[in-house]
């Protein structure tokens, strides 16, 4: 295959992240043929901005019907991933799917507060059935499923993997976090569209990271992955604390409905090592994407965001004008740590390049179905643990 012909569904936040990286491969290895989204203005503006020949806004299936597209990049809200991925597989096209793969989103009752009303044990079972349905469609139609978990492609993370390999040490303890001051996206406020709160949307990244690392260590040491064997967790809605509710000026997103804005989970692995994952929608100071890895013979701290390749200071926020400093930063005043190339440090171009390689050279992507499935399982088991107040063991 000379060039991979790609279509994108979704034209907002995640789609921009993907497109900004795809432009680097465009012309030589990738043709972005068409896009689809729900609103005409967004689809049109996106197509125009990136010089994409066609766009659809009435029905994403028009994109799937095209014979000149090899792969569909799903940048749509999480509740649509399962259906869209299955439709894509049935159309015999490869799938790039944003994180997390899927979850439980309730029935079609409009006002349902899924997060409060439905037992998490039931959700776990249903979410795993959703993963199985996607896996089955992928297998049946012999297409590739590529799971867009950028963390495991981030250069600090791939360096960590090299260090783990050469050290030969045992990963004893990992502490990982993704937090910030709250999502911009409306779908994130309700379980019905997001499938969970901070643990699901933010935690999916560090959970993906730690599961991948122990998997990697297992392959190196024993020729088979070290998988999670149990999970314990706690969740909370810190933005509902009475004194915070009374505060007039809010720097933190607080419109959460039936989803948690804070969560912590401990993953216990088959070799009895542990990973602790923190995620919060109520942390000021810009996005935090970090991993501390304690090996038996080394320590590695991975600072995807923030990191200090650049340290900048301004006495007032207007001084840096419109120049981008960091995601979800409240102010450009004072000392800050912009990344010279945030997309690169976060692994988006490397992720998309691996996916294009996978299609062009018919190989497995570094991030695929197994990781996508295990992330859903770990997060929903964490929800069961938090609800029932006990450790949840996996039946393998
Ligand atoms: N990897 C990352 O760093 C990262 C960052 C943000 C979001 N995400 C993931 O990306 C996904 C999308 O999140 P987002 O923040 O871009 O959301 P968003 O709300 O900004 O954009 C969603 C897009 O989907 C389109 N859409 C919705 N329903 C549609 C339909 N029926 N048909 C066609 N298009 C439809 C919308 O028009 C919009 O363009 C989520 O699963 C999220 O978890 C990943």
Residue 98 has pLDDT above 80, yes or no: yes
Selected from 3.30.360.10, 3.30.460.10, 3.90.580.10, 1.20.1270.10, the CATH number assigned to the domain covering 151-350+377-393 reads 3.30.360.10
CA of 81 to the centre of ligand 1 (A): 10
Q: Tell which one of 12, 206, 355 to mutate to probe ligand 1, the residue whose CB is within 8 A of the most ligand atoms.
A: 12
Cβ–ligand 1 distance for 3 under 6 Å, the answer no
Which residues of the chain are in CATH 3.30.360.10 domains?
151-350+377-393
Q: CA 71, CA 14: separation in Å to the nearest integer?
A: 17
Is residue 103 within 8 Å of 203, Cβ to Cβ?
A: no
CA 15 to chain centre: 13
Answer positive or negative: Cα dihedral of 156, 340, 184, 39.
negative
Burial of 395 from C-beta contacts in 10 A (0-12 / 13-18 / 19+): exposed
101-160 pLDDT tens trace: 999 999 877 788 999 999 999 999 999 999 999 999 999 999 999 999 999 999 999 999
Which atom of ligand 1 is closest in space to residue 149's alpha carbon?
1
Give the model confidence (pLDDT) of 212-246 as tens digits. 999 999 999 999 999 999 999 999 999 999 999 99
Q: What are the C-alpha distances in Å from 91 to residues 77, 228, 369?
A: 20, 34, 18
Distance (Å) from CA 193 to ligand 1 centroid? 11
- CB distance 12 to ligand 1 below 6 Å: yes
Ligand 1, atom 29, residue with closest C-alpha: 38
Per-residue model confidence (pLDDT) at position 247: 97
By the 10 Å C-beta count (0-12 exposed, 13-18 middle, 19+ buried), 94 is classed as buried
Using the mean position of ligand 1's atoms as its centre, give its distance from the Cα of residue 96 in Å.
13
DSSP lists the bridge partners of residue 67 as none
pTM, two decimal places = 0.97
Measuring from atom 21 of ligand 1, which residue has the nearest CA? 12
Identify the pLDDT of residue 109: 72
DSSP 213-279: HHHHHHHHHHSS---EEEEEEEEE-GGG-HHHHH-SS-SS-----SS-SEEEEEEEETTS-EEEEEE
Q: Check: CB of residue 194 under 8 Å from CB of residue 80.
A: no
**Can you give the C-alpha Rg of the chain in angstroms?**
21
- Min mean pLDDT across 127-131, 185-189, 320-324, 354-358 is at 185-189
Check residue 108 and give its pLDDT: 78
Give the whole-angstrom CA distance, residue 395 versus residue 125.
Answer: 12
Tell me phi and psi for residue 44, to 5 degrees: -65, -45
Hey, which of 9, 14, 281 would you mutate to test ligand 1's pocket, going by the most ligand atoms within 8 Å of its Cβ? Answer: 14
If we measure between CA atoms, which residue out of 286, 267, 262 comes closest to residue 196? 262
Ligand 1 centre and the CA of 177: distance in Å? 22
- pLDDT at residue 2, as a whole number: 85
Residue 16 pLDDT = 97
Residues of the chain with CATH 3.40.50.720: 4-150
pLDDT for residue 28 is more than 90:
no
Is the four-CA dihedral 185, 342, 278, 203 of positive or negative sign?
A: positive
Half-sphere exposure of 268 (CA within 13 A, CB side): 12
pLDDT for 186 equals: 87
- With cut-offs at 50, 70 and 90, classify the pLDDT of residue 356: very high
Q: How confident is the model at residue 26 (pLDDT cuts 50, 70, 90)?
A: confident
Contact (CB, 8 A) for 84 and 9:
yes
- pLDDT given at position 1: 76
How many angstroms is it from 185 CA to the middle of ligand 1?
8
Question: pLDDT tens digits for 32-68?
Answer: 999 999 999 999 999 999 999 999 999 999 999 999 9
Q: How far is the CA of 142 from the centre of ligand 1 (A)?
A: 26
Alpha-carbon span 345 to 324, nearest angstrom: 15
Distance (Å) from CA 80 to ligand 1 centroid:
9
User: Tokens 């096209």, residue?
Assistant: 93
Average pLDDT, the chain: 96
Ligand 1 centroid to residue 304 C-alpha, Å? 22
Q: Whose CA is nearest to atom 8 of ligand 1?
A: 14
Output DSSP code: residue 24: T
In 3D space, the residue among 280, 392, 285, 394 whose CA is nearest the CA of residue 329 turns out to be 285
Report the pLDDT averaged over residues 8-29.
Answer: 94
Render pLDDT for 258-309 as a digit per residue (tens, 0 to 9). Answer: 999 999 999 999 999 999 999 999 999 999 999 999 999 999 999 999 999 9
* CATH number for domain 4-150, candidates 3.30.70.100, 3.40.190.10, 3.20.20.70, 3.40.50.720: 3.40.50.720
> 194: which 2 tokens?
């997001």
334 sits in the region (left: phi over 0; alpha: psi -120 to 50; else beta) called: left
Query: Using a 6 Å cutoff on CB, does residue 385 contact ligand 1?
Result: no
């Amino acid at each position: 295959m000379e060039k991979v012909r790609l279509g994108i569904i979704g034209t907002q936040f995640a789609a921009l992240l993907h497109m900004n990286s795809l432009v680097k491969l465009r012309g030589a290895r990738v043709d972005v043929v068409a896009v689809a989204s729900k609103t005409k203005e967004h689809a049109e503006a996106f197509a125009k901005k990136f010089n994409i020949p066609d766009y659809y806004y009435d029905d994403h299936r028009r994109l799937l019907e095209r014979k000149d597209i090899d792969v569909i990049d799903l940048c749509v809200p999480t509740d649509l991933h399962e259906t869209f991925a299955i439709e894509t597989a049935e159309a015999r096209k490869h799938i790039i799917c944003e994180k997390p793969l899927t979850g439980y989103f309730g029935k079609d009752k409009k006002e349902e507060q899924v997060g409060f009303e439905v037992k998490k044990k039931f959700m776990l079972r249903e979410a795993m059935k959703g993963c199985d349905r996607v896996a089955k469609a992928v297998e049946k139609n012999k297409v590739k499923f590529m799971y867009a978990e950028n963390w495991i492609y981030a250069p600090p993370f791939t360096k960590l993997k090299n260090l783990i390999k050469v050290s030969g040490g045992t990963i004893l303890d990992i502490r990982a976090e993704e937090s910030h001051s709250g999502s911009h996206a409306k779908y994130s406020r309700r379980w019905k569209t997001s499938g969970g709160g901070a643990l699901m949307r933010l935690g999916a990244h560090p959970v993906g990271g730690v599961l991948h690392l122990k998997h990697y260590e297992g392959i190196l040491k024993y020729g088979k992955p070290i998988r999670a064997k149990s999970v314990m967790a706690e969740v909370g809605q810190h933005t509902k604390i009475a004194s915070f509710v009374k505060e007039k000026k809010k720097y933190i997103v607080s419109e959460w409905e039936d989803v948690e804005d804070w969560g912590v989970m401990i993953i216990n692995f088959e070799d009895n090592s542990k990973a602790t994952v923190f995620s919060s929608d109520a942390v000021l100071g810009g996005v935090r994407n970090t991993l501390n890895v304690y090996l038996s013979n080394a320590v590695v701290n991975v600072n995807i965001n923030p990191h200090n390749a650049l340290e900048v200071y301004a006495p007032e926020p207007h001084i840096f004008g419109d120049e981008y400093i960091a995601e979800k930063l409240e102010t450009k005043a004072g000392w800050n740590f912009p990344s010279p190339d945030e997309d690169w440090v976060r692994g988006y171009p490397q992720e998309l390049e691996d996916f294009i390689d996978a299609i062009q050279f018919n190989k497995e992507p570094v991030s695929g179905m197994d990781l996508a499935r295990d992330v859903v399982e770990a997060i929903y088991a964490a929800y069961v643990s938090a609800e029932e107040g006990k450790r949840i063991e996996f039946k393998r």
